[in-house]
Every structure is written in structure tokens, then in C-alpha cells.
Chains A and B, each alone.
Chain A
Amino acid sequence: MSHGAAPADGRIPVTVVGGYLGAGKTTLVNHLLRNAEGRRIAVLVNDFGELPIDADLIESQAGEVIGIAGGCVCCSFGSDLMGALARIARAEPAPEHVLVEASGVGLPGSVARSIALVPLFRIDSVAVLADCETVRSRAADTYMGDTITRQLAEADLVIANKADLVSPGGLAELHAWLARSAPQARVVEAIRGAVPPAVLFDDHAPASLRGAGRGLLIGAIAPQGDAAARYESASFTVRHRVDAAALARALTSPGCGVLRAKGVVRDLDGSGSVLHVVGARTETGPHAGSEAGSNPAGIACIGLRGRLDRDAIARAIAASRDPVNTAKNT
């Protein structure tokens, strides 16, 4: 039996993975496949020029499609990203999450804007990898510099990879540089692409735990294993009506320290709204799957340990309350 099911609004979330050659896009993708925890992930790569999947994960290969352990697949899309997306959406069962690996010189923001044209998909985030050791010199390169800075400027999340190869002082300089080059983005450090799946994927739990009446499964977003030492999560109950879009935007402010947030809240008109935040990106829409009005509504957030500011988030929630209906809702 498939767990996970289709996302609340029926659209499949897509993460566009960008970054220059050698920054670790393929390593990240393989890390996420190894830690898929039962999610059906479809990986789309520009081409099979270099084999994008670690050999031990491959179960089969037929032409442009690689079968991966755990029901995941990897396809090359060549010059026809839209065609590949259409095929993926028709697959039975449909994937729960799509990872699109942009080419090293591709602009992942442009790729995301194009994917957003297809109504079946929702851009979850644009994650751009930066090689901690080389990104600054690459960004100064005569030929490739502006491509790299444009990639970073379009990121919702910057994954500063190979962080173990740089001294603490070097990392501090890198963060200062990233704060100027990608001021909109949240930055996480990683070693060998090891970013907790909870940062890049929606909460994921067996369908048996998702039943009506449970509302939002706050706990599922919590980082597991080693990541728990570096990341933390927090959840908030939201009893009053809020301006969901404004709340989502507020959660992107650097002060909140939110890497990822998901919530179901009652919007100003009383309808259920689902809210996604990944770094700089927000998305809100009707929550089709439940009667949010009758369930406890809330928001789950994940951030770097020590950076996730619960007070700031609580203030953001309070500030997004509907001023007119506040009294009768609380």
C-alpha cells in the first residue's frame, strides 16, 4: 500500500537543485535517495552524460529511465523537460516528490519558473549548492562568474557543501559573502551533501497516522538521527484566523531562522489554507484534504539548532491575526 498519498492540493512538489559543476548536486541527490524513508522520489537530470545515481542504488536501467531501490526513478530529460514532467505525472503510482537537477551552467530559477507553468506541479524550493572551498573564486571567474552569482541570487536555500574542507575562519568569511550574494536565501552547511530530508521534503508519514482528526502531523518534520544535533524543530498551534500569505512571508525573514515550515491554518475567510515556506519561498493555497476549521490548526518549522527563534515565529503568527475577527476567534 502506498503511504504518503498525493499532497493536499493534488500538486506534486518539485525541488530544483542547482549549482556549478562539482558543487555536489549529484551527491545531494544520492544522499536524499538513500534517506528517502519510503518516499517515492523521481529524479530528473538534464542528461545522462555522467551517471547521476550511485551504482549500488540502481535496480534497473532501460534507456532514459533508471529504476532505484524503494520505488524511486531517475530520468534524463534532455531538451524536453516538459515532456519528461508530463510522463512523470502520469506514472502509476505518481511520485511524491520530484527532484530536478539543473545543469552546472543552468539557471535553476528559470527552470523553476518553467516548471511552475505546468499546473500538476508545485515548486517546493530552489536549492543551490555552493562548494565552500571554491565558490568564491568561481564567482570571480571571467567566464562563469556571473552565471554562479545568478544561480545563488535565485536560491531559496543555499547548501554550503564540503564545509569540512574549510577552516572555521574561512566558513565565517563564506557566510558573510553569501549574505551579500544571496541575501534572500537561508544557508545551511553540509558535508558530502548530507542535508536532512526534513529540510527538503514535506512531512512524510504512513497514511495510518494521517487520518482525519489528527490534523497536521507536527512531529513528522523533526530531523532524525545525526541531523538532530544540528537542526531543531518547533510547532505552533494557531487557533485564530490569520492572513496565511502574510504569515508565510513573515516566516521567510532571516530573524525567524526558518528553513522549512508547513502549516494548515484558517485563513481570513475561515477556510483552511495550507502554507509552505522553504527559505525565501512561500506558497499558500486552499487545504482540500481536511476541514481545517474543525481541526487544530498549526505550523511546524525546522531550522538550524540555536537559530530557530521561537519568539520571533510566535510574534509573526500574532501579527498575522485577522484584526477584525480576532476577538470572536480567541
Chain B
Amino acid sequence: MTVVYRARRILTMNPARPEATHVAVRDGRILGTGTLDELKGWGAYTLEDRFADKILMPGLVEGHSHTSEGTFWRYTYVGYFDRTDPEGRVWRGASSIEAAVDRLKDAGAAMTDPATSIAGWGLDPIYYGERRCSRHDLDRASTSRAVGVLHASGHILNVNTRALELAGLLRKGVDHPGIPLGDDGLPTGELKGPEAMMPAAPHVGFDRDLLACDELGLRYFAKLCVRKGVTTAADMASQLPPDAVTMMARVTGEADFPVRIVSLRRLFNINPGELIARAIELRAASGDRLRLGIIKIVVDGSIQGFSARLKWPGYHNGAPNGLWYVTPEQLRAALAGALEHGVQVHAHTNGDEATELLLDCVEEALARHPVRDHRFTIQHGQLVNAAQFRRIKALGMCVNLFSNHHFYWGDAHYSTTVGPERAERMNACATALANGVPLAIHSDAPVTPLGPLFTAWCAVNRLTASGRVLGSAERISVADALRAITLGAAYTLKLDAEVGSIECGKRADFAVLEDDPLTVAPEHLKDVRIWGTVQQGRIFPAPPPP
């Protein structure tokens, strides 16, 4: 059965036929776009008019997120910025530490079991001036319950006195670089870095791998995707144990599951040879809406956490260079094995030194296994410089840049982490495109909120939270940004033959918009209203908030 959708405007991303008014769909796939007359040749059809006043785009592709974005919504959101939850409720940003604490207090008041801890997420004290959040602040939320709040970056946890006590940290003589002490010689409650967080995290409800996802989280994540126009999303680093794969296959296989999840197996707790074998096994276990078989390698840490590996002259504030999360030996073995067995690799590098090592290793592996179209992709690549983009192009690689970072941490990058010059060329989308490097841009949700149109807005405007334009030379056009969040991201996942544009033969995946992203002012791109999605011909309106 054929359905022809009429729309106000269809932005196809197919340069041969960039716009249309109608799209014909059969069996979840696209027969063609054009006028109704052009599409009549496919035979009997039903005309679907509900999108007559809407804009259709290819379903948006989030090339780097974590399904744990769905998991976090069971905790209390206390971020500085407004954020929409899976049900569509907008959580207003907390304008002060006091406001954040009030929200945690309310969450505690709603709990019946007096032993339950209160967990919050998304705290961003950089917006509250010099003042740090302390255990005394969180004690106002509760003194009897353990209270913990994860920062937006995911790298710092603030806890109350009770949580410190339960963690065995409410004592003098604690000697750890990630645990500042107050004037009383006791920890202030700020726990910086995964190691410092670990003793307290289980006591405040963060007792699991923070990037892991469970069934409820996956369902919440899917709801968010519908709200953001996303029909394909990469789940960038899982360990994919067999029971998680079984759960994901079951849930994504349900008739009304609205997203195609591409889940990558991380090089962790497995040697490179076994990882390649596991990737081949996983690829065979892929389903229509669960794509497996790509591997992820994390090469270094984060820039705002000062754990990224930077080339000379290093961090602007003089912090020591960051950490390697993999040895060159493991990296070389994984890359060579992947090329030999046709497995795709996505590699996280934030610092330019980590990128340089990766490029050296890819170059070496390619000399041994000259594979065409491997599409090995650099994830984040925030400090990739012009010379590195030229190498990336020559090596046949792609980049997926972290454009959202400008908005959330751009001011800190300018003043503290890398200084003005490098901050202005971070996530250099324009240089990537100028060098012909295949480009995607991403949110890394839950690190920043899921929302490819917001990500596109970041790449187009490069505004920081304080309103500074951070590197006007690296701004890209709206058309280029829209391509990056559709075909661009699809290309990095080797899904560009299936999704990413609205054209004959591809999946009937659409983002259904109320406003036209090509006619709104570029500075309002993030405000384009989203009605919902169509995924494989199934219609998913974003329900109004309860």
C-alpha cells in the first residue's frame, strides 16, 4: 500500500531534487519525491494530508549520543539551562545553587522511604560565579538522606554530609587531589574525577556504569528522539554484554519503537583481537532498528576535565597534560585487525596530541592493510588543527565534531583550558568542509542535551553561553549544518545509502517540523518547532506534556 504525504515543503538533501511538495512511501521506504502528478505513476495511493502545513526533512541522525540520556531522567534535573524531559515537560534551569537545592529538597519530600537517597544531575556551578557548591548547601536538601548531584560535565559529583559519612570520607587526613578540604579539615563535598567520585557514588544512587543503559532508559531515550526529530541515533560506547544486546534487540524490535539505534562496542575489558571477533559476531546479530558491529576506542580524556592529551604548549592554565586511555600498542592492534576484517572504528580524541597519535597509527595500519572506504571516524576531535584535517582527508577518515561544546564550555575554553586562539578554532567545521572531510556534529547526550537542530545552531552561530562568538571563521552555513545532522552523520555510520536524505529507495524517515529551518533566521535555528517524526513509514507525533 502506498501513502503519499503532502507537505508545505520537503527538504530532501538530495541535490538533484532539493525540494518537493509530496513524498510517496511504500513498505516503510520512499518511492519518490515530487509533485502529486509525478508520483501517481506508482499506482493506487492514499493521500495523507496531516503534514500539509509542515516541513519534512530527512529524519535527523544523532551521530554521537548515549542512550543513558534516557536513564538520567529518573534523577532530578538541576542544570542551569531549561531542559525537556522525555515526556515533554520543560525543567526550568536552576538560577542559583539555592534554587538547585530547593529542587532536590522537593524531590526528597516526595519520597516515602526515609533511606532513599536524592540524586540530581546537570549541575553547572560555572554559571554561579566563584562560589562552589558545598556539602553544607546540599545539607539543606536533607541531613538524613544521602544527597548527590552530578555536574553537567559528568566529571564532578557534589555530595552532602550524610553521603560523605556513608562513604567513609567524613574524616580528617583525606589526601586526594580530587577532594578539596574545607577550613575544618574535612572534605567540602566536591568530588572531582571518577576516582574521587567512586566511594560516594553508590550511596547517592549513581551505582552503575554512568554510560550504561537499561530498558527504561532506552524507552525514555526513544521518546526524547521523537521530540527532537531524531530517527537514527548512535549509542557511542557500550560494553554490549549479551543480556544487554538481547534486551536492546527485544525493545527496538517492538512494532512501535521509533528509533534506529547504532550501538558501538567499546575497547574495554577485552583484547583487540577478541574485540574484532566480537564485533563480527555483533554485526551478524544486527536487526532493522538495532545496528551493531562498529567498535569505539577512547584515546584520551576531556578538555574541560584536563584529561585530554594536548600538543605543545598544552593547557592554557598550566595544568599538566592529560591521560592516555589506551596504549599505542592496543590502538595499532585494534586498527590493523579492524581493517583486516572490515570492521569500522570510531575513535574518541579530544586533544590534538591524541588525534596525532591516532592518525599515525591509522596511517601505519593502512600501509599494511590498504582498505578503501573504511570511514574510520574521529569522535569529538575538538582540537583537530588544519594540518590534521588535511591528513584526515588523505587517510579517508571522517570527523564528528562536538559543536555543542562552544555553547556550554566555550567561555571556559577561551579563558582557562586552551586560551583564546585555540578556543576559536575548536570544532573547526569550516576547515573540515574546506578540506573535503566528511563532517558530522553531535551532542554527546547526556553530556549536553540531545537535539540535532540545536547542534546545527551551535555550528552555525558558534555562540557561547555568555554571548561571545567563538571563532567566526569556523561558522558554517545552515545548509551545511543541516547536511551534517542528516547525511553527514549517516555517512559516518555507513548508513548513508539507507537514510540521511529523502529520495527513492531510502527509508521513509522524516523529521516533521512546524517551521522551515531554511527560512528562519540562522540565530533562531534552535527554536524551530518539532512536531514529531516518521520512522520507516510509521508516524510518531511528539505527545504534549502531561
Query: Which of A's residues lie within 8 Å of B, judged by CB?
Result: 20-22, 47-50, 76, 78-83, 103-105, 107, 110-111, 113-114, 116-119, 143-144, 146-147
Q: Would A47 and B202 count as touching, CB distance under 8 A? A: no
Tell me the complex Cα distance, A106–B323, Å: 8
Please give, as numbers and ranges, the residues of chain A lying within 8 Å of B194 by CB-CB distance. 79
Q: A107-B323, A110-B195, A113-B177 are in contact. Are A143 and B269 (CB under 8 A)?
A: no
Q: Which B residue's beta carbon lies closest to that of A45?
A: B269
B169 in the interface, Cβ–Cβ < 8 Å? yes
Asked if B329 is an interface residue, CB under 8 A from chain A, the answer is yes
Which 5 residue pairs are nearest across A and B when measured between Cβ atoms? A114-B195, A82-B198, A47-B269, A105-B324, A49-B271
* A119 and B168 in contact, given A80-B209, A114-B198 (Cβ under 8 angstroms): yes
Q: Is the Cβ of A50 less than 8 Å from the Cβ of B321?
A: no
| Assembly CA distance A147 to B324 (angstroms) | 8
Hey, what's the 0/1 contact readout for B325-346 against A, CB within 8 Å counting as 1?
A: 1111110000000000000000
Q: Beyond A21-B327, A76-B269, is A146–B199 a contact (Cβ under 8 Å)?
A: no
| Contact, CB under 8 Å: B328 / A144 | yes
Q: Does B127 contact A (CB under 8 A)?
A: no
Can you give 14 contacting A-B residue pairs, CB < 8 Å?
A47-B268, A49-B271, A76-B269, A79-B209, A79-B268, A82-B198, A111-B195, A113-B177, A114-B176, A114-B196, A117-B179, A117-B196, A118-B168, A119-B171
The answer for the CA separation of A103 and B327 in the assembled complex, in Å, is 9
Instruction: Indicate which residue in A76, A81, A83, A143 contacts B353 across the interface (CB closer than 8 Å).
Output: A143
Tell me which residues across on chain B come within 8 A of A21, comparing CB atoms.
327, 329-330
B371 interface residue, CB < 8 Å from A?
no
- Which of A103, A105, A117 is in CB contact (< 8 Å) with B176? A117
A109 closest partner in B (C-beta) = B177
Q: Which B positions have Cβ atoms within 8 angstroms of A?
A: 168-169, 171, 174-177, 179, 194-196, 198-199, 202, 209, 268-272, 274, 309, 321, 323-330, 353, 356-357
- The one of A76, A81, A105 in contact with B327, judged by C-beta atoms closer than 8 angstroms, is A105
Known: A143-B328, A143-B357. A105 touches B323 (CB 8 A): yes
| Chain B interface helix/strand/loop/mixed | loop
CB nearest neighbor in B for A82: B198
Contact A80 B175 (CB under 8 A): no
- A48 CB contacts on chain B under 8 angstroms: 269-270
- B228 CB to nearest A CB, Å: 28
Q: Which listed residue, A50, A80, A116, touches B271 by the CB 8 Å rule? A: A50
Nearest residue, chain A, Cβ from B267: A49
Q: Choose among A79, A103, A111, A146 the residue with the greatest number of B CB atoms under 10 Å from its CB.
A: A79
CA gap between A21 and B171 in the complex, in Å: 37
Q: Specify which chain A residues have a CB less than 8 angstroms from the CB of B199 in the assembled complex.
A: 82, 117-118
Query: Closest approach, in angstroms, between the C-beta of B200 and any C-beta of chain A?
Result: 9
A49-B271, A79-B209, A143-B357 given; 16 more Cβ-contact pairs under 8 Å? A20-B327, A21-B327, A22-B329, A47-B268, A48-B270, A49-B274, A80-B198, A83-B198, A104-B327, A105-B323, A110-B177, A113-B175, A117-B169, A117-B195, A117-B199, A144-B324
Closest B-chain residue to A114, C-beta based? Answer: B195
* A114-B191 Cα distance, complex, nearest whole Å: 11
How many angstroms from the CA of A107 to the CA of B274 in the assembled complex?
26
Of the listed residues B175, B179, B269, the one surrounded by the most CB atoms of chain A closer than 10 A to its CB is B269
User: Is B326 touching A105 in the complex (CB atoms < 8 A)?
Assistant: yes
Docked pose: A325 CA to B439 CA in angstroms: 76
Residues of B close to A147: CB separation below 8 A:
323-324
A83 touches B202 (CB 8 A): yes
**Within the assembled complex, what's the spacing in Å between the Cα atoms of A301 and B321?**
38
* A146 neighbours in B (Cβ, 8 Å): 321
Tell me the minimal C-beta distance from A71 to chain B in angstroms.
25
Give Cα A113–Cα B192 distance, bound, in whole angstroms: 13
CA distance A107 to B178 in the complex (A): 14
In the complex, which residues of chain A have a beta carbon less than 8 angstroms from the beta carbon of B357? 143
The CA of A110 and the CA of B174, in the complex, are separated in Å by 14
Instruction: State the CA gap A78–B239 with chains docked (Å).
Output: 11
Nearest CB of chain B from residue A225's CB, rounded to whole Å = 34
A88: shortest Cβ distance to chain B, in Å? 14
Partner of A47, one of B174, B196, B270, B309: B270
Task: Decide if A81 touches B268 in the complex (CB within 8 Å).
Answer: no
Shortest beta-carbon distance, B298 to chain A, in Å? Answer: 11
Q: CA A116 – CA B168 in complex, angstroms? A: 11
How far is the CB of B335 from the nearest CB of chain A, in Å? 15
Give the chain A neighbours of B202 by CB distance below 8 A. 83
B353 surroundings in chain A (CB, below 8 A): 143
Question: Within the complex, what minimum Cβ distance (angstroms) separates B424 from chain A?
Answer: 26
The CA of A146 and the CA of B179, in the complex, are separated in Å by: 24
Nearest-Cβ distance from residue B358 to partner chain A, whole angstroms:
10
Complex contacts, A81 vs chain B, CB 8 Å: 195, 198
Minimum CB distance partner of A141 in chain B = B328
Measured between beta carbons, the chain B residues less than 8 angstroms from A22 are: 329
Name A110's closest neighbour in chain B (CB-CB). Answer: B195
* Residues of the B chain whose Cβ atoms lie less than 8 Å from the Cβ of A104: 327, 329
C-alpha spacing A181/B274, complex, angstroms: 36
Report B459 CB to chain A, min CB distance, Å: 30
In the complex, chain A residues whose CB is within 8 Å of the CB of B196: 114, 117
Q: Which residues of A contact B328 (CB under 8 A)?
A: 143-144
Question: Which chain B residues lie closer than 8 Å to A82 at the CB level?
Answer: 198-199
